């Protein structure tokens, strides 16, 4: 049971970490904080998962390169703006509703329903289908009740129906258009983590049954 609690805490922490990374331009303090002991522990933990070793190393290399830039905060903020704030084909939309599987109005309607159920309110009036809000919602969903199989099923549904349906294309376009590569590496790592997290959720059902039955 404690192992399951620890796994839930770590999963929520990772989703929240990605949410903060992709929500807005990083301040200089936030950028430097990516090298503090807590963030290093998080990334070292990701590298213990064989499938995440390479994408985590790729992200760490881009982070080290970002920290060495002369005007690191301003340059990374410019990368963020050119990648996520400019319209296509120059930029890459971080909004799920801009992808072929849905429409902005439909995706935001569904996201508002999820947010109301979890008593969450987006910051700064951000549209509810923004990638950062979806990731924050996932973190909150994990934390509601780590032992509920109903909520595990909801997590699977949310990841499968509201993230994996557009993240592969989001990641592909980011790699094509992010010249420096910091955000593309982060999104590539996120995508691989979510794919593995879905596998873990599927595997957790029989594991939980055998432990409790």
Nearest to 147, CA basis, from 11, 5, 25: 5
Measure the CA–CA gap between 102 and 66, rounded to whole angstroms.
Answer: 34
Spatial contact of 129 and 96, defined as CB atoms under 8 Å apart: yes
Give pLDDT tens digits for 143-176: 988 778 888 999 999 999 999 999 999 999 999 9
pTM tops 0.85, yes or no: yes
Measure the CA–CA gap between 176 and 19, rounded to whole angstroms.
Answer: 22
Nearest to 141, CA basis, from 4, 5, 12: 12
Give the chain's domain count. Answer: 1
Residue 123 pLDDT grade (very low, low, confident, very high; cuts 50, 70, 90): low
The enclosing domain of 107 has a CATH number of 1.10.3480.10
Give whole-number Cα distances, 29 to 19, 25, 61, 63, 72, in Å.
Answer: 17, 11, 19, 14, 11
Tell me the residue length of the chain. 213
Q: Which domain holds residue 59?
A: 2-212
Give pLDDT tens digits for 181-197: 999 999 999 999 999 99
User: Computed from CA positions of residues 200, 202, 208, 211, in that sequence, does the dihedral angle turn out positive or negative?
Assistant: negative
């Amino acid at each position: 049971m404690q192992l399951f609690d620890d796994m839930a805490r770590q999963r929520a922490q990772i989703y929240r970490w990605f949410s903060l990374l992709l929500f807005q331009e990083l301040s200089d303090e936030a950028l430097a904080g990516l090298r503090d002991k807590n963030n290093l522990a998080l990334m070292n933990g990701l590298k213990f998962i064989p499938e995440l070793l390479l994408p985590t190393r790729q992200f760490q290399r881009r982070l080290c390169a970002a920290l060495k830039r002369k005007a690191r905060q301003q340059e990374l903020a410019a990368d963020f703006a050119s990648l996520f704030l400019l319209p296509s084909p120059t930029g890459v939309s971080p909004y799920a509703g801009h992808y072929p599987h849905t429409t902005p109005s439909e995706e935001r309607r569904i996201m508002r329903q999820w947010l109301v159920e979890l008593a969450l309110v987006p910051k700064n009036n951000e549209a509810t289908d923004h990638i950062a809000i979806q990731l924050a919602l996932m973190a909150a969903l994990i934390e509601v009740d780590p032992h509920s199989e109903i909520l595990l099923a909801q997590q699977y549904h949310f990841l499968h129906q509201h993230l994996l349906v557009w993240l592969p294309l989001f990641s592909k376009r980011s790699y094509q258009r992010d010249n420096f590569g910091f955000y593309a590496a982060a999104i590539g790592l996120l995508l691989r983590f979510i794919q593995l997290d879905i596998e873990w959720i599927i595997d957790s059902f029989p594991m939980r049954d055998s432990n409790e039955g």
